[in-house]
């Protein structure tokens, strides 16, 4: 009987690498990608009214990401069961425990992450309640997200702007109603028929969780639109971060309703290496201008906008210099070797990002471990820079 390690802690703590083996995975990435692409296509083909489409489009990427993440774990369950492979995973996992032990889930993965990352502040709460009313006449620009590129742009242009804190304006409210329940059940029934016809059967817990995901996001955006009181009226433009953030999409929708110009800013600047249309479909959602790093990125965004038949003005911002601390003692002692900076993407846990974006955590970890140790064995000094939101698993590497 074979085993499969489903998460990084189980590999490290289980001592798997003491045997000097490489991780094997029974499902190929292209199979996940095919499934995720099918799911994306099926969601896009659902027949909705104009009003239903309006709310569905705002939260589409979050519904899709949660559905694809969860269902690829269900996919694994069926693959491993059929091949008599034993899953190994650490404690307190979101999907693994529920799927393998057939326990219902009553929470949404990405929303729980959002709640955990939010830090309440009375000063920010009071600011959010009074700032728009008191100082609104003095500003023309509203910012709802400040990533590094936004900060750099504002600093270079000395822009006069008003910072809004959307988490305090629109609190997470997942209270549903009969219409949303009916709509979500209709969508689940359609998806179930497609999935079971081509891939695998869904049990009652699977179906109920699909409905929970869909209904929760539809309820969230419905409640937020109902609670919007027109506070954006009177401004000229709105600046947002990436289109993968719920509040950025919500504000883009509201701003265009008020005839405001919407400016969106890139995040990491690495997307020119990938032709992932669904990413750019999200990123270019309801905007007028897009700002990215350098000429190469600008041309790529223009190309993708053309492919998606989206009209958007694309601007380039000079990328900041990337600096590495050269005072580290290990680096000083390694001058005789070549140096390689390894800038890693983040591990995403059980929230798989599909298609074409990231391989599963254990395979990514295994690849990084193999690559870094191979470089070290060949005399290179490797500087590993983890993602700001990523986890560090240094104890799993040789040195």
Radius of gyration in angstroms for the set of CA atoms belonging to the chain, rounded to a whole number: 23
Asked whether residue 221 is assigned to any structural domain, the reply reads: no
Give me the mean pLDDT over the 48-71 stretch: 94
Lowest average pLDDT, out of 187-196, 268-277, 327-336, goes to: 327-336
HSE-up of residue 386 (Cα within 13 Å, Cβ side):
11
Q: What is the distance of C-alpha 21 from the center of its chain?
A: 31
Task: Answer positive or negative: Cα dihedral of 69, 392, 172, 250.
Answer: negative
Lowest average pLDDT, out of 52-66, 176-190, 324-338, goes to: 324-338
Asked whether residue 240 is assigned to any structural domain, the reply reads: yes
Asked whether the predicted pLDDT for residue 396 surpasses 50, the reply is no
Using 50, 70 and 90 to split pLDDT, how confident is the model at 293? confident
Cα angle: 127, vertex 128, 134; to 5 degrees: 70
CB 368 within 8 A of CB 11: no
Percent of the chain residues past pLDDT 90, beyond the cut: 39
28 and 91 share one domain? yes
CB 341 within 8 A of CB 85: no
Beta-bridge mates of residue 5: 88
Using 50, 70 and 90 to split pLDDT, how confident is the model at 225? very high
Asked whether residue 206 is assigned to any structural domain, the reply reads: no
Most confident of 78-82, 239-243, 349-353: 78-82
* pLDDT at residue 379, rounded to an integer: 85
Lowest average pLDDT, out of 131-145, 162-176, 239-253, goes to: 131-145
352 and 309 share one domain? no
Residue where a domain stops, chosen among 283, 317, 351 = 317
240 and 167 share one domain? yes
Give me the mean pLDDT over the 328-336 stretch: 49
Q: How far apart are CA 40 and CA 16, in angstroms?
A: 36
Q: What is the distance of C-alpha 287 from the center of its chain?
A: 19
295 and 335 share one domain? no
HSE-up of residue 350 (Cα within 13 Å, Cβ side):
26
Q: How far apart are CA 290 and CA 288, in angstroms?
A: 7
Using 50, 70 and 90 to split pLDDT, how confident is the model at 334? very low
* pLDDT at residue 102, rounded to an integer: 87
* pLDDT at residue 398, rounded to an integer: 43
Nearest to 2 by CA among 89, 90, 96, 87: 87
Most confident of 36-50, 77-91, 129-143, 381-395: 36-50
Lowest average pLDDT, out of 83-87, 150-154, 168-172, 379-383, goes to: 150-154
276 and 337 share one domain? no
CB 147 within 8 A of CB 248: no
* pLDDT at residue 392, rounded to an integer: 52
CATH of the domain at 253: 3.40.50
246-257 and 204-227 helices cross at what angle (nearest 10)?
A: 40
More confident call, 358 vs 140: 140
Give me the mean pLDDT over the 361-388 stretch: 86
87 and 185 share one domain? yes
Asked whether residue 216 is assigned to any structural domain, the reply reads: no
CA distances from residue 177 to 24, 180, 182, 219 in whole angstroms, order as listed: 45, 5, 9, 8
Asked whether residue 218 is assigned to any structural domain, the reply reads: no
The residues, ordered by sequence, that sit 6+ positions from 352 with a Cβ below 8 Å of its Cβ are 32, 68, 69, 72, 73, 358, 360
> How many domains, in total, are found in the chain?
3
Asked whether residue 324 is assigned to any structural domain, the reply reads: no
Residue where a domain stops, chosen among 317, 352, 381 = 317
168 and 146 share one domain? yes
307 and 376 share one domain? no
More confident call, 205 vs 389: 205
186 and 101 share one domain? yes
pLDDT tens digits along 2-31 = 678 888 888 888 778 887 788 888 788 889
Residue where a domain stops, chosen among 267, 289, 317 = 317
Give me the mean pLDDT over the 219-234 stretch: 93
CB 353 within 8 A of CB 32: no
35 and 98 share one domain? yes
- pTM (2 decimals)? 0.88
Nearest to 271 by CA among 245, 239, 248, 293: 293
Task: Answer positive or negative: Cα dihedral of 211, 212, 217, 221.
Answer: positive
263 and 135 share one domain? yes
- Long-range CB contacts (within 8 A, 24+) of 46-55: 46/187, 46/190, 48/183, 52/183, 55/218, 55/221, 55/222, 55/225
* pLDDT at residue 327, rounded to an integer: 52
DSSP string, 90-121: -SS-SSHHHHHTT----S-HHHHHHHHH----
* pLDDT at residue 248, rounded to an integer: 93
Give me the mean pLDDT over the 268-289 stretch: 81
What mean pLDDT, rounded, does the chain reach?
85
242 and 165 share one domain? yes
Asked whether the predicted pLDDT for residue 65 surpasses 50, the reply is yes
Look up the domain containing 120 and give its range. Answer: 116-172+226-317
Using 50, 70 and 90 to split pLDDT, how confident is the model at 39? very high
Nearest to 143 by CA among 277, 229, 69, 247: 247
Q: How far apart are CA 60 and CA 109, in angstroms?
A: 15
More confident call, 162 vs 396: 162
- Can the peptide bond before residue 355 be classed as cis, meaning omega within 30 degrees of 0? yes
Asked whether residue 346 is assigned to any structural domain, the reply reads: yes
Asked whether residue 313 is assigned to any structural domain, the reply reads: yes
């Amino acid at each position: 009987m074979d085993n499969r390690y489903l998460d990084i802690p189980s590999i490290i703590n289980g001592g798997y690498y003491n045997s000097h083996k490489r991780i094997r995975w029974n499902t190929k990435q292209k199979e996940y990608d095919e499934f995720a692409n099918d799911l994306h296509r099926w969601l896009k083909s659902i027949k909705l009214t104009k009003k239903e489409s309006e709310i569905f489009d705002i939260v589409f990427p979050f519904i899709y990401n949660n559905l694809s993440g969860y269902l690829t774990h269900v996919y694994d369950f069926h693959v491993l069961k059929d091949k008599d492979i034993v899953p190994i995973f650490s404690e307190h996992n979101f999907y693994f425990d529920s799927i393998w032990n057939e326990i219902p889930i009553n929470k949404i993965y990405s929303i729980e992450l959002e709640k955990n990352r939010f830090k309440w502040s009375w000063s920010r709460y009071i600011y959010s309640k009074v700032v728009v009313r008191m100082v609104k006449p003095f500003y023309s620009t509203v910012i709802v997200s400040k990533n590094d590129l936004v900060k750099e742009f504002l600093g270079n242009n000395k822009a006069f702007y008003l910072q809004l804190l959307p988490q305090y304006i629109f609190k997470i409210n997942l209270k549903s109603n009969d219409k949303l329940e009916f709509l979500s059940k209709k969508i689940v029934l359609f998806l179930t028929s497609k999935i079971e016809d081509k891939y695998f059967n869904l049990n009652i817990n699977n179906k109920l969780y699909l409905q929970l995901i869909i209904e929760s996001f539809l309820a969230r955006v419905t409640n937020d639109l109902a609670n919007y009181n027109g506070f954006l009226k009177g401004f000229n433009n709105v600046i947002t971060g990436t289109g993968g953030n719920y509040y950025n999409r919500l504000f883009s929708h509201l701003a265009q309703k008020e005839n405001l110009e919407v400016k969106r800013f890139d995040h990491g600047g690495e997307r020119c290496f990938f032709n992932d249309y669904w990413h750019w479909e999200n990123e270019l959602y309801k905007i007028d201008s897009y700002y990215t790093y350098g000429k190469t990125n600008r041309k790529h965004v223009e190309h993708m906008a053309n492919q998606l038949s989206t009209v958007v003005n694309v601007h380039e911002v000079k990328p900041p210099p990337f600096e590495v601390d050269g005072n580290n003692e290990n680096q000083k002692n390694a001058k005789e070797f070549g140096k390689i900076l390894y800038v890693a993407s983040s591990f995403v846990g059980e929230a798989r990002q599909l298609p074409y974006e990231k391989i599963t955590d254990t395979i990514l970890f295994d690849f990084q471990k193999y690559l870094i140790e191979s470089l070290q064995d060949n005399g290179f000094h490797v500087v590993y820079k983890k993602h700001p939101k990523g986890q560090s698993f240094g104890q799993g590497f040789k040195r």
